[in-house]
Amino acid sequence: MRIAILLALLFSPCCFAISYHAAGHNLTIIESSRQEANFCSPYGYATQAQFNKWLETHRTIQRNSLQALQTQAKSAGLTEKEQLAFIQEAQQHIKKQVATTVRFNQSQCPLFQKSLEYNASLFK
């Protein structure tokens, strides 16, 4: 019985550690998709609903990425409170980075679902 449980855990997505770099990459993809949804929504596109559904299917990637950030902070000797502050700071940095480097165009809005599919293919 124990072997079956260990094998199930071995092939479970929750057991694959991701690198600190990959975590930042994944969170940047999620934030870029969020900002694109926010950009297109005022133009009458249902991008918020599409984004929420897409994010729900990739919630494990988001969670594992945040855990990788926390692991990095913990290994750096930060307290639990400092770890949470670090994660919040990292998320704010990613948000600002995407806002200043990615430019959206209204002509992209009808293709938002395809953009989400492409973005999902970029996860590490």
Kindly report which listed range (5-14, 36-45, 100-109, 115-124) carries the lowest average pLDDT score: 5-14
Evaluate if residue 92 carries a pLDDT over 70.
yes
For the chain, where are the alpha helices, taking DSSP H only?
2-10, 20-40, 47-57, 59-75, 80-101, 112-121
Regarding pTM above 0.85, the answer is no
> How does pLDDT run across 28-80, given as a tens digit for each residue?
999 999 999 999 999 999 999 999 999 999 999 999 999 998 888 888 888 89
Distance CA(54)–CA(62), nearest Å, equals: 12
Evaluate if residue 9 carries a pLDDT over 80.
no
Distance CA(87)–CA(93), nearest Å, equals: 10
CB 38 within 8 A of CB 70: no
